[in-house]
Amino acid sequence: MDVKNIAFTLFLISFFLILSYDRLHHWDESFYLYKAAFVPVSEYGTFLTAKYGHLLLMKAIISLTGTGLSGLFCLDLIYALMMLFFVFVSFRLLNELLDRESDATYTTIILMFLPITLYLSFKTLSEVPALLLGTLSILSFYLGLKEGYGCRALFYISSSGILLFFATVCRSDASIMFFSFVLALTAIYGREFGLKKLFSSLAVVCIIFSILLFVLIVLLDIDIFSYYFSDVHRAVMCYQNIFGRLFGICLEGALFYPLMLWSFLSYGEKRFKFALIWFISASTPIWIVSNHIEARFLYHNLLPFAILIFIGSLKLFNVLGGAIADKNVIKIGSIAVFISILAGNIFFMGFMENELDESAYSRVFEKMDALYDNKTILTPYTFSDYSFLTFAFPDEQIFTVQKIESIKEEEKRIGDNYGIEPLRDLESLGQFNDTTILYISWRYQMDYLLFKNNEYSVYNYGWITEEPGIELEKIFEEGRVEKRLYEVYSVNIT
C-alpha cells in the first residue's frame, strides 16, 4: 500500500469517526450499561441471555475502564473500533467475492457510510460484536472453501463454526447472516465450489456450532434462545403497522435505495443474483419474526445491500459514460452525487431510534452541580434514563419515579428482572428532606413514532407530576426538542 492509499484510508477512518460520533444512545444501551456494571451475571433474565456474550464483553471492558462519562467514552470508542474492524473484514471478504480490488474498495466505502453503519458506531448495541464476528465467520468459511481439502481448509471451516457460535452468543439472531450467505453461495456458485465440498463444509460448521450451543445451553444452563419464547418478549413487542415497518426499512439505506434499484438492470450478472438472494434471505426472517422493525435489526443484510448499491451505481455511471465524453466530468459528478447522498443519509439518521442525548445530559449535570451542592435526582423512566444516569454519574443520588402501574411490560422489567424498586409515593420522598430534590423530565418531537398510542407521553412523566402534595418549579432546560429537550424542576413538598 503506497502513501497515497494510506492517506486516503486514514481520511476515510477519520471521516467515519467524526460523522458517527453523535453522543446519542438507544434505549437498550443504557440497560446493558447498568446490567454489565452493577448486576452479577447470575441475575441476568431472559432478555439479557439473548445477548449473553455482548454483556460479558461489556462487563470485561467496564472492569478496565470503570463507570462515569470517561468510562462510557472508552466503551463507545471500543465499539466504534469494532465497526471499523468489521469494515476491514468486509473489504477482505468483498475482495474475494468481487472481480477486482477496486470493486471491493468502492463497495466497502458504500458499506462504511450506510446510515445503519454510521448509526451503530459509538453505540454499545449487541449488533456490533455480532456483525463483526458474523462477518469473520463468513470470511473464514469462504477461505476454507477456496482451500479445497487439507489442514488449512479444516482450520478455516472449524474457525467459522466457532466464530458463528460467538456471534450468536452476542446476539441470538446473528446466524441469519451466515446461513443466508451460504444459501446465496449455494444457489449461484454451488457448482464452482462443488456441492459435495460445500455441504460437507457446512456440516462441519453446523456440528461445531451445535456442540458449543449444547455446552452453553445444557451444561452451563444458559439458554440464549429462551427470550423469544418468554412472557417478557411477548409483552415488550410493539405491534407495528406496515407503514412503520417500511419506514424502518427505508432508514437502513435512505438515499442509497435509488442506486440499489439501478442494480436490477444488471439482472443477468452472477454477482447481482448472488447479492439479491443473500439480501432477500437475510432480510425475510426479520420481517417475519419481528413484530416491529428498527433499522438496526437489518444488520444481517448490510454486505449484500452494499454490493447491490455498488452494482447499481456502476450501471448508472456506465450509462452516463456513454452519454458524456469527458471522464473528469463523470468523476466529479460521481463524487458530488456520493456527497449529496451522504449528507441526506446523515439527515435520515436523525429519525433512527435514539432516546438519550449524552451531550445534553452532561450539560444538565454541569448546571445542577453549579447550582446545588447536596441534591437528589429523580428520573421518570427506569429502563432508559435511570440506567444511563446511574452509570454515567455514579457519584450522584439518583432514583426513579416512573408510573409503572400504567405500563404492564415495565412490571416485568422492574423488580426481579431489573433489581431496583422505584419510589412510589409522597412518603418515600421524606428520606430526602435534608437535600434539594430535583426532577428531570424530557420532551421529544418523535414520541408519536416510538410509542404506541396508549403509551404516548407516559415514559417522560413520573407520578410526581400528578401528585397534589408536590409543587414543581422549573429551574432550567437543556438540549433541543429535535433530539431530546431536558427540563429540570425543583420538587417542593407542600
Q: What strands lie across the sheet with 375-379, from one edge to the other?
A: 397-400, 375-379, 436-443, 484-493, 470-480
Residue 295 buriedness (CB in 10 A; 0-12 / 13-18 / 19+): buried
> How sure is the predictor about 458, in pLDDT bands with cuts at 50, 70 and 90?
very low
Taking the C-alpha atoms of residue 23 and residue 244, their distance in angstroms, rounded to an integer, is 25
pLDDT at 321 > cutoff 70: no
pLDDT of residue 216: 85
pLDDT one-digit tens code per residue, 233-259:
544 555 566 777 777 788 888 888 888
Lowest average pLDDT, out of 286-300, 325-339, 374-388, goes to 325-339
> How sure is the predictor about 449, in pLDDT bands with cuts at 50, 70 and 90?
very low
pLDDT one-digit tens code per residue, 101-141:
989 999 999 999 999 999 999 999 999 999 999 999 999 99
> How sure is the predictor about 431, in pLDDT bands with cuts at 50, 70 and 90?
confident
Q: What is the mean pLDDT of residues 397-414?
A: 66
pLDDT one-digit tens code per residue, 177-198:
999 999 999 999 988 888 889 9
Closest CA to 305 of 94, 132, 101, 120: 94
pLDDT of residue 186: 95
pLDDT of residue 225: 67
pLDDT of residue 388: 92
Share of the chain above pLDDT 70, in %: 85
The overall average pLDDT reported for the chain is 84
pLDDT of residue 87: 97
Taking the C-alpha atoms of residue 182 and residue 189, their distance in angstroms, rounded to an integer, is 10
Closest CA to 117 of 12, 6, 243: 12
Q: CB of 437 within 8 A of CB of 378?
A: yes
Q: What is the mean pLDDT of residues 48-53?
A: 82
Which residues are bridge partners to 491 per DSSP?
Answer: 472
Strands 24-25 and 356-357 turn out to be antiparallel
Q: CB of 141 within 8 A of CB of 205?
A: yes
Closest CA to 277 of 197, 193, 185, 195: 185
The grid coordinates listed for 164 are 458463528
Among all chains, which residue has been given the C-alpha cell 447491490? Answer: 308
Strands 436-443 and 375-379 turn out to be parallel
